[in-house]
Amino acid sequence: MTRVIAWYEFLFTVKRPAYLIVTFGLPVFIGMYAGFIMLVTAGTAKYAIEGLSAKIGVVDKSGLLEYAKEFEAAQADKATDEPTVPAEFEAAAKKLESMFENIKPDESKSFDSLADARASLDQGDIDIIVVVPTGFLDSGEMDCYTREWKLFSAIGAPKQVQSRLRLGVMQRAGLSDSELALIRDRESPGGFRAIAMHEIGPNGEFVEVDVLSRTLSLALPAGIAGILIMALLINAGFLLAGVAEEKENKVIEVLLSMVRVEELLMGKVLGLSAAALLQMFVWVAMTAPIPLITLALAGQHFQLGWNPAGLFISAAFFLLGFVFYGALLVGLGSLGNNVKESQQYSVYIMLLPVVPLVLSMVLLNVPNSGLARALGWIPFFSAPAMMIRVATGEVPWWDIALAALILAASTWAAVRFSARLFRVGVLMRGQTMNPIKIARLFFQA
């Protein structure tokens, strides 16, 4: 009978127009929203870039910029020559050029004194004045002057000057032009090749770490644990609404004359959970490929190293956690007189699975710590905690088995507990609950 109830609950839920609109409409809405944000950001970025290319006046008392100019003049003479960038960095250099093509080349004006620069500022020839003091190398301090300070208005100018000051320092130190050109190019954002990370391999020798793949492999389970929590929240909405609707409609008493309370409860949990999972699946299927495709298009190579056993274990914890929370929600939800009241009873429960996610860095980096193990064994945290821990591949099998056993037993207990609450809860009307009342009803059911 549980199967029949689950099937019809699922069917009635997924056929609802509101369900279909949310399931397929939300990703589209989020896509449009993200697109809007990106457009706005792009517009703001353009503004920021324009800010970066504000007309700068420089009063250089340190003399370092003269060296930079010397280098730049030499580079200008070689403009038609072969590129100084070695072949291996050519692609990166081109990418950089395309990324920063909106930034104007250095057009800063030099002034002998702040008063001269001020006159130019007043006339509108420049927007900002950067004064490099004589003791710049000792103090590293500069002064900026502008007509009126605005948020982000004075970020770009000092950095541009600082960058050229570094070139000046190196020119003065006697680095060759090609070395300076390399440094200049690599200083640009993204100009440096990713740092190659190594770790001690199985043979005791250093082996290179595929940082992106490893990061994704660890982030993925944390992401899926996040999806579990999101799915739980969606499911909570379905379950509470489902119970409240039948309670308000007074259908529940007729249903209880036909089926066992446990069957009704499990049918609801499974059917509505399936509807929630289907919704999550659609959302993930519609949105998850986007970041992966973006990385692939950006030329980043990665491999998701998640073994099948880990995947299976995580799936098992996901489903157990889902039923555990679903059963508790239905039981507690049945105590409310309407959806709003039911939500109040269940809100505390729904905060618990978020805890492992907040502590995911600890779980990923020290998966066998006392805290990590405790979270894995406490049923309220178990599912998300174990999904994250298992992804590290460092959790011993007995630990996983023990956590699974505790969660399975707790799920069974949750179903029994909720069935008792449900038995009395769904038939009560107009009463406000408190823990003492709940406990009393629990034992009288």
Partner 1 sequence: MTRIEFNHVFKAFGGGATRIQAVDGVSFSAEGGEVVGVLGPNGAGKTTIIRMLLDVFRPDAGEIRVDGALNGNRDDGFRRRVAYLPEERGLYQKRKLNDVIEYIGALRGMTRAETRERAAPLLKRFDLVDYAKKKVVTLSKGMSQKLQILLSVLHDPDVLIFDEPFSGLDPVNVRLVRQLVLEHRDRGKLVCLCTHMMAEVEALCDRVMMMHRGARVLYGPLDEIRRAHTDYQVSVDWEAQPEGLACVARVEKSDKLKNVFLKEGKSISDFMREMATAGRSVRKLSEGLRSIEDVFVSVVGGPVEAASEDVQ
Nearest to 330 by CA among 247, 260, 406, 254: 247
Stretch that binds partner 1, among 115-123, 244-252, 295-303, 342-350 (CB under 8 A): 244-252
Q: Is 440 in the site for partner 1 (CB under 8 A)?
A: yes
Stretch that binds partner 1, among 1-9, 168-176, 179-187, 361-369 (CB under 8 A): 1-9
Minimum CB distance to partner 1, residue 251 (Å)? 5
The residue within the footprint of partner 1, chosen from 30, 38, 74, 258 (CB under 8 A), is 258
The residue within the footprint of partner 1, chosen from 79, 149, 398, 429 (CB under 8 A), is 429
The residue within the footprint of partner 1, chosen from 155, 209, 288, 428 (CB under 8 A), is 428
Q: Which of residues 6-65 bind partner 1 (CB under 8 A)?
A: 8, 12
The residue within the footprint of partner 1, chosen from 140, 174, 202, 430 (CB under 8 A), is 430
Residue 227 or residue 419: which is nearer to partner 1 going by CB?
Answer: 419
Q: What is the amino acid identity at position 403?
A: A
The residue within the footprint of partner 1, chosen from 103, 256, 311, 406 (CB under 8 A), is 256
Q: Is 424 in the site for partner 1 (CB under 8 A)?
A: yes
Q: Which residues touch 219 (CB under 8 Å, ≥6 apart)? A: none
What tokens does 149 get? 């300070």
Minimum CB distance to partner 1, residue 264 (Å)? 9
Q: Is 260 in the site for partner 1 (CB under 8 A)?
A: yes
One DSSP character per residue, 292-332 reads HHHHHHTT--------HHHHHHHHHHHHHHHHHHHHHHHHH
Minimum CB distance to partner 1, residue 15 (Å)? 9
Strand ranges in 42-194 using DSSP code E only, listed in sequence order: 56-60, 109-111, 128-132, 143-146
The residue within the footprint of partner 1, chosen from 249, 297, 348, 397 (CB under 8 A), is 249
Q: Is 416 in the site for partner 1 (CB under 8 A)?
A: no
Cβ-based neighbour number of residue 329 at 10 Å: 30
- Give the bridge partners for 145, in sequence order: 129
The residue within the footprint of partner 1, chosen from 123, 257, 432, 434 (CB under 8 A), is 257
Q: Is 150 in the site for partner 1 (CB under 8 A)?
A: no
d(CA 171, CA 72): 10
Q: Is 259 in the site for partner 1 (CB under 8 A)?
A: yes
Nearest to 310 by CA among 379, 221, 375: 221
The residue within the footprint of partner 1, chosen from 212, 311, 350, 427 (CB under 8 A), is 427
Residue 330 or residue 391: which is nearer to partner 1 going by CB?
Answer: 330
Q: Is 401 in the site for partner 1 (CB under 8 A)?
A: no
Q: Is 255 in the site for partner 1 (CB under 8 A)?
A: yes
d(CA 282, CA 234): 13
Cβ-based neighbour number of residue 259 at 10 Å: 15
The residue within the footprint of partner 1, chosen from 45, 76, 137, 254 (CB under 8 A), is 254
Q: Which of residues 62-121 bind partner 1 (CB under 8 A)?
A: none
Residue 72 or residue 246: which is nearer to partner 1 going by CB?
Answer: 246
Residue 299 or residue 430: which is nearer to partner 1 going by CB?
Answer: 430
Q: How far is CA 403 from CA 354, 377, 381, 397, in A?
A: 18, 5, 10, 10
d(CA 292, CA 290): 5
The count of chain residues that interact with partner 1, using the rule CB under 8 A, is 30
Q: Which residues touch 76 (CB under 8 Å, ≥6 apart)? A: none
Residue 253 or residue 394: which is nearer to partner 1 going by CB?
Answer: 253
CB environment 282-294: b (16+ within 10 A), e (fewer): ebbebeeeeeeee
- Structure-token match 């043979």, residue found: 203
Whether the Cβ atoms of residue 364 and residue 388 lie closer than 8 Å to each other: yes
Nearest to 133 by CA among 141, 144, 122, 124: 141
**What angle, rounded to 10 degrees, do the helices at 379-390 and 397-425 form?**
150
Residue 98 or residue 257: which is nearer to partner 1 going by CB?
Answer: 257
Stretch that binds partner 1, among 49-57, 119-127, 254-262, 340-348 (CB under 8 A): 254-262
The residue within the footprint of partner 1, chosen from 78, 147, 250, 340 (CB under 8 A), is 250
Binding site for partner 1 (CB under 8 A): 1, 4-5, 8, 12, 245-246, 248-261, 423-424, 427-430, 440, 444-445
